[in-house]
Chain A
């Protein structure tokens, strides 16, 4: 029984699940340390972005996104789950995540958060 172990990360398809912006990430591993699945593992190179090792096992709880102090992580719903919304006044129809969706907006969350 060898203690030498290897990770063979799964390929990025069909679901990316979560992406890490290497320009923002400082390799603090906050996301790794909160991930319930071990989808994220620390990069063997200190200070580099974590490895998205098992995206196929991801539950999409996004605790990693919440934990990132630098806003470097983003969850991505798979294409088959991106539903439409319709602007009531104009009847225009948009799809979540589509290139032509309206400019990004933040709906004011209720205070008290």
Chain B
């Protein structure tokens, strides 16, 4: 069957009318770049404050962003009425992330954000009593607890697959204007100056090719992470890649170019999956995250024991969801910074016991053997809602005959020791990309103050662009940033856009189109991407030295000035992909520069604070900040005081 109508690879005309020479001006009070969970929440909040809000997204906003493919549970609701710990305590005892004020803001808003989502129409409770009397259910609220069944700190969401359509509708109803398939390529600053107030942004349409100029009093970057800097996305990655491929760091790159400070980029962590050895995320047998706490049996049917974080063997399935002695609650190691809140896991010496023959590979996730409520929770509430699993796993597997009441799902064969590493289950063997990643270490982000505003006046961040990963943090910081950006816009005039800056950006954006057809324009965006990943693999790997990192910068520059000037774009889609490579040059250089700053700081002994970086002309500056700077000077004395101060206007309705 001619499924794809392209058997001959024949060229067809681009299906949308194209007007590369047309410029469209759009005026807004608040411009939101990236319409994912954070962006939609920001748009809702700012619109409700009476502001004219414009959201741009490379994709259709109804399902765009990482959360657009669904979500299964909502992390860190420490503001819930029965919370075991206050956000203040949680942050004070937690890990020093270098921007704890930002983590505080995120944690402070997760419960309210969840309640807001319910008002907008998200199904969050077990209203129909499917899980009545099950340990996962909180009887008082009808919410389903995740991980921890004693305390409610994370919530399973019945309707998580529909979170994006609900937020999309919410933003539309609130009056936000949407520009879909518009790729924002740069920020515009007052006088075109680096480090000056942000007055808008430029971009182009991925369907019609038109040039867009957004004039705005304030701008929010909610464009997700900077992904795929180390690995070219091979064509057989299938369903393994967790992050939306549209997340390639445009927000970070444009903020950097405009002069915004970035933090923690020396962590240089790429993201996981996205390699040809990986498995469908959540689509293989495993005991963690979405599949927690699924029993695992060996190939002979012998169950692998579980142990709690203190190393005590757990004798029942129920015990896996109860905090161990001394644990305040069981959290998610991914988004919570508190130490000692890890989940129970398979016995720690499983690798050894496999090697000595006690357990035989492969392992199998014994859904059939789980108590009914747990089975329906995993292969239902969780897999039925989690990102990219409703159709490509839940539907596809059941249509292939997989029956959770009768069957066990295989776990990939790994080096036995790897079963102790969360994520290794998904990444597959050989774990080739390991030296290029930090395990759950994050990757660095755009820095911000107590208002989630960057050092550039009028520029705000929300969600993963500000290092706030996960659905609950994206939404809570989205609402917060939307409010702060609306307040900023209320106090300011529409800034003047610099004509020269606009002309230069237009020149840059359309260069690949102009050169298409010329004899030396034979480099595809894929080759260019693959080329930049080689630089990062070689020069930003596990072993880093200043000469190697500097070599990487030189290498990037060389590719940018040679092959980067030979890349063709035959239509607006390809143009977007070429410009993403331009973004990769910038993002990769930030990683390399930040690593150099870090090594140099270690050499001079300046490691007792935090290192930020920013671009000043051609030079990269290193900015040192003292420990806990977010509670010093005008920000004394405590977290709550600062938070309350920022919320004053919102509460008084001004």
Contact = CB atoms under 8 A, between A and B. Distances in A.
A75 B3 CA distance: 12
Interface residues of A, number: 71
Nearest to A75: B392
B3 A52 contact: yes
A104 B399 CA distance: 5
A107 B9 CA distance: 39
A15 B235 contact: yes
A109 B68 contact: no
Interface string A77-103: 110110111111100001011100111
Interface string B49-60: 000000000111
Interface string A1-18: 101111111111011100
Given A62-B392, A88-B406, A36 B59 contact: yes
B380 interface: yes
A112 B158 contact: yes
Nearest to B369: A88
Contacts of B130: 110-112
A110 B136 CA distance: 14
A33 B524 CA distance: 26
A68 B202 CA distance: 33
Contact of B14 (A5, A57, A111): A5
A96 B63 contact: no
A11 B9 contact: yes
Interface string B37-62: 00000000000000000000011101
Contacts of B20: 1, 3
B279 A81 contact: yes
Interface string B1-30: 111111101011111011111000000000
A59 B59 CA distance: 13
B614 interface: no
B4 A88 contact: no
Given A1-B21, A37-B245, A97-B400, A12 B572 contact: no
Nearest to B58: A36
Nearest to B406: A87
B381 interface: yes
Interface in B540-571: 570-571
B449 interface: no
Given A51-B6, A83-B283, A88 B238 contact: no
A81 B240 contact: yes
Interface stretch (B72-80, B84-92, B120-128, B330-338): B120-128
A5 B402 contact: no
Given A3-B18, A112-B130, A11 B403 contact: no
A36 B60 contact: yes
Nearest to A91: B301
Where chain B touches its partner, the secondary structure class is loop
B284 interface: yes
A106 B14 contact: no
Interface stretch (B103-111, B259-267, B383-391): B383-391
A112 B128 contact: yes
A91 to B, nearest CB: 8
B510 interface: yes
Contacts of A41: 15
A14 B123 CA distance: 39
B434 interface: no
Given A63-B69, A86-B364, A104 B400 contact: yes
Nearest to A66: B391
Contacts of A56: 235
A84 B361 CA distance: 13
A59 B154 CA distance: 27
A3 B14 CA distance: 10
Interface in B334-372: 364, 366, 368-369
Contacts of B240: 81
B15 A44 contact: yes
A105 B395 CA distance: 10
Most buried by A among B12, B245, B412: B12
Nearest to A100: B401
B13 A44 contact: yes
Interface in B267-297: 276, 279-280, 283-285
A27 to B, nearest CB: 12
Contact of A85 (B11, B19, B235, B410): B410
Most buried by B among A12, A59, A80: A59
Interface in A37-87: 37-38, 41-44, 48-49, 51-57, 59-63, 65-66, 75, 77-78, 80-81, 83-87
A19 B159 CA distance: 27
B5 A51 contact: yes
Nearest to B399: A104
A53 to B, nearest CB: 7
Given A36-B246, A49-B5, A14 B236 contact: yes
Nearest to B64: A36
A28 interface: no
A14 B235 CA distance: 7
A49 B280 CA distance: 28
B280 to A, nearest CB: 5
A15 B408 contact: no
B78 to A, nearest CB: 26
Interface in B569-588: 570-573
A93 to B, nearest CB: 8
A100 B152 CA distance: 44
Nearest to A80: B236
Contact of B238 (A33, A35, A81): A81
A110 B246 contact: no
Contacts of A51: 4-6, 12, 15
B245 A59 contact: yes
A61 B62 CA distance: 13
Contacts of B62: 34
B238 A80 contact: yes
Contact of B381 (A16, A57, A110): A110
B9 A9 contact: yes
B206 A38 contact: yes
6 contacts: A3-B21, A8-B11, A49-B5, A52-B4, A77-B239, A89-B406
Interface of B: 1-7, 9, 11-15, 17-21, 58-60, 62-64, 68-69, 123, 126-128, 130, 158-159, 161, 181, 206, 209, 233, 235-236, 238-241, 244-246, 276, 279-280, 283-285, 364, 366, 368-369, 376, 379-381, 384, 387-388, 390-392, 394-410, 412, 510, 513-514, 570-573
Given A51-B4, A60-B238, A81-B238, 13 more contacts: A1-B21, A1-B513, A9-B12, A16-B4, A22-B2, A52-B5, A62-B390, A77-B280, A105-B401, A106-B398, A107-B402, A110-B158, A112-B158
Which 9 pairs from chain A and chain B are nearest by CB?
A36-B59, A62-B391, A102-B401, A5-B14, A9-B6, A5-B571, A61-B69, A60-B239, A101-B401
